[in-house]
């Protein structure tokens, strides 16, 4: 090969005698090789993908749901109440909203989430999915969902990854919901599982809001306070709580939009704030989300909403309990872990596609490539299998009713089960 005449001899670089240039080029190559991994974005499952089978036992799901009123064949839409992080339904709702719903004759259920809603929210969402399905089946009509803090957000995870729940719900009312996480959790390297998942830049929050925030047929009423010290920032409707994208009907309202002097913060806006209550009742009583124009300014003279007005002492005690629970979001108390829980398999395209899961909870593929993460140790029916580049290859055999896969990574062990889809005999 002839040398390029356009390149002078002095411009030809001998790397052997130019260590500085050599080191620069080697460093550049290393950076370029690292780019694909850093730039690789998570591909989330499509919004129309069938939801996975619930992993929580039927007994636990049934025990978590407590219902009152004429729920069966209900004459009006029943309400599912979902508590916030660190709270039980009793602490969050028994002394305020549930009192008023009884007076109004509105049937309702509340759902108790694992470990006072401080554990993996992906698991908590299964309890909400079950609650929606049970209430829809028993009432014979669409239901409404009212939640505080995490409780106003976790139903959206249910809608996102279990599409069958969407037509079952008419209204979702969020009281200070953590729809885009909170910066209060961003600096925590360790903490409660639910707290870490509610970081504003967490993998959970990104998956929650993937593709679209709302879905057609559901009215979304977001009620927040600019004095929120837990879900931050929330200074306007560009803050954490507010929703903007998708096909749902949305209203984002700060209680200060109606009463500028309102000082209720995160806990009280979801428990005693009369303005938040009026907005919630407005949403329940009208087609579509709440409309601030329908709320009278006379509410600004109230201290408690009607349900909480008659029992201030009991309410104060419950409010203190709720406050203690809500403080867990910013790392106070509770069972602490290192890093947020891994996204479930159904959340991403690569993992959910690899499993080949059919709607019935079985797999059509005999051989599966399962993403388990680098450094994981995997056993299939008790036998160890190799993990290469974060993936394990397993075989689901028709002769075996269930294939059990145990994955150990980062000190945690999780179990997945696969059943073959068998053809029915004619």
Question: What would the 3-class secondary structure string for 70-103 be?
Answer: CCCCCCCCCEEEECCCCCCHHHHHCCCHHHHHHH
Residue 28 domain-assigned? no
Segment 373-381 shows an average pLDDT of: 85
Based on the domain organization, do 251 and 356 belong to the same domain? Answer: no
Domain termination residue (choose one: 288, 304, 338): 338
Asked if the structure places residue 53 within a domain, the reply is no
**Predicted pLDDT of residue 96:** 95
Contact 304, 312 (CB under 8 A): yes
Residue 27 inside a domain? The answer is no
Contact status, residue 129 vs residue 54, Cβ threshold 8 Å:
yes
In terms of domains, do 395 and 328 share one?
no
Task: With cut-offs at 50, 70 and 90, classify the pLDDT of residue 361.
Answer: low
| 8 domain residue, yes or no | no
Same domain, 355 and 298: no
pLDDT grade for 31, boundaries at 50, 70 and 90: very low
CATH number at residue 352: 2.60.40
- Tokens 């069972």 sit at which residue? 335
Task: Label residue 136 by pLDDT band (50, 70, 90).
Answer: very high
> Both 326 and 355 in a single domain?
no
Question: Do 314 and 414 fall within a single domain?
Answer: no
In a domain, 48, yes or no: no
Q: Could you list the residue range(s) of the whole structural domain that residue 372 is in?
A: 348-420
pLDDT of residue 327: 53
The answer to whether residue 331 is domain-embedded is yes
What pLDDT score does 335 carry? Answer: 75
Question: Residue 118 falls within a domain, yes or no?
Answer: yes
* Closest among 214, 323, 312, 321 to 266, alpha carbons compared: 323
pLDDT score, position 99: 95
**Residue 390: predicted pLDDT:** 78
Q: Residue 326's pLDDT is what? A: 53
Name the nearest CA neighbour of 52 among 344, 251, 298, 266: 344
pLDDT at 410 (0 to 100): 77
Residue 199 neighbours by CB under 8 Å, 6+ apart: 181, 182, 183, 185, 186, 188, 205, 340
Query: Cβ(291)–Cβ(258) under 8 Å?
Result: no
Q: What digits encode the pLDDT tens for the residues 188-231?
A: 677 899 999 999 999 999 999 999 999 999 999 999 999 999 99
| Higher pLDDT, residue 383 or 286 | 286
Residue 332 shares a structural domain with residue 395: no
The verdict on 151 and 95 lying in the same domain is yes
Q: What is the average per-residue pLDDT within 384-401?
A: 77
Residue 393, pLDDT score:
82
Confidence band of 19 (pLDDT split at 50, 70, 90): low
Pair (330, 352) in one structural domain? no
CA distance 142 to 74: 10
Based on the fold, state whether residues 208 and 266 are members of the same structural domain: yes
pLDDT attached to residue 30: 45
Same domain, 328 and 197: yes
Rounded to whole angstroms, how far apart are CA atoms 9 and 21?
17
Average pLDDT over residues 399-412: 77
Q: How confident is the model at residue 314 (pLDDT cuts 50, 70, 90)?
A: low
Domain stops at, among 296, 313, 338: 338
* Residue at which a domain ends, from 338, 366, 394: 338
Pair 290, 415 in one domain:
no
What confidence score (pLDDT) does residue 33 get? 42
- Give 11's pLDDT tier (boundaries 50, 70, 90): very low
Per-residue pLDDT reduced to its tens digit, 254-290: 999 999 999 999 999 999 999 999 999 999 999 999 9
Tell me how many domains the chain contains.
Answer: 2
355 has a pLDDT exceeding 60: no
Per-residue pLDDT averaged across 368-385, rounded?
Answer: 83
Is the same domain home to 190 and 65? yes
**Domain CATH code at residue 195:** 3.40.50.1820
Does the pLDDT value for residue 17 go beyond 90? Answer: no
What gap in Å lies between CA 381 and CA 130, rounded to an integer? 29
Least confident of 101-115, 320-334, 347-361: 320-334
Is residue 121 scored above 70 in pLDDT? yes
Q: How far apart are the first and last CA of the chain?
A: 72
Would you state the pLDDT for residue 34?
Answer: 43
Q: Is residue 11 part of a domain?
A: no
Residue 360 vs residue 343, higher pLDDT: 343
């Amino acid at each position: 090969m002839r040398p390029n005449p356009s390149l002078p001899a002095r411009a030809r670089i001998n790397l052997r005698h130019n260590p500085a240039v050599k080191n620069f080029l080697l460093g550049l190559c290393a950076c370029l090789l690292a780019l694909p991994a850093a730039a690789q974005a998570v591909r989330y499952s499509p919004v129309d993908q069938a939801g996975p089978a619930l992993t929580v036992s039927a007994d636990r799901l049934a025990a978590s749901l407590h219902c009152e009123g004429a729920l069966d064949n209900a004459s009006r839409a029943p309400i599912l109440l979902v508590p916030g992080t660190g709270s039980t339904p009793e602490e969050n709702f028994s002394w305020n909203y549930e009192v008023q719903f009884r007076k109004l004759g509105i049937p309702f259920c509340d759902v108790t989430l694992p470990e006072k809603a401080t554990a993996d929210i992906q698991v908590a969402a299964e309890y909400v999915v079950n609650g929606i399905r049970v209430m829809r089946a028993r009432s014979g009509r669409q239901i409404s969902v009212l939640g505080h803090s995490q409780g106003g957000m976790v139903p959206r995870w249910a809608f996102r990854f279990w599409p069958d729940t969407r037509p079952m719900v008419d209204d979702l009312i969020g009281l200070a919901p953590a729809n885009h996480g909170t910066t209060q959790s961003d600096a925590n390297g360790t903490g409660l599982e639910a707290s870490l998942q509610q970081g504003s830049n967490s993998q959970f929050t990104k998956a929650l809001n993937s593709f679209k925030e709302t879905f057609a047929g559901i009215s979304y009423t977001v009620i927040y306070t600019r004095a929120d010290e837990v879900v931050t920032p929330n200074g306007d409707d560009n803050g954490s709580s507010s929703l903007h994208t998708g096909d749902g009907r949305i209203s984002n309202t700060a209680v200060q939009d109606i009463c500028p002097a309102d000082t209720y913060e995160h806990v009280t806006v979801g428990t005693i704030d009369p303005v938040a209550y009026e907005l919630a009742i407005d949403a329940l009583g009208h087609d579509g989300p709440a409309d601030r124009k329908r709320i009278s300014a006379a509410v600004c003279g109230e201290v408690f909403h009607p349900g909480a007005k008659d029992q201030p002492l009991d309410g104060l005690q419950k409010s203190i309990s709720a406050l203690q629970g809500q403080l867990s979001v910013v790392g106070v108390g509770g069972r602490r872990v290192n890093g947020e829980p891994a996204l479930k398999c159904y959340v991403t395209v690569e993992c959910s596609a690899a499993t080949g899961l059919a709607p019935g909870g079985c797999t059509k593929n005999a051989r599966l490539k399962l993403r388990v993460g680098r450094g994981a140790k995997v056993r299939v029916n008790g036998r160890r299998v190799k993990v290469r580049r974060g993936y394990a290859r397993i075989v689901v055999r028709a002769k075996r009713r269930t294939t059990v896969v145990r994955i150990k990574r980062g000190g945690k062990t999780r179990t997945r089960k696969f059943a073959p889809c068998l053809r029915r005999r004619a």
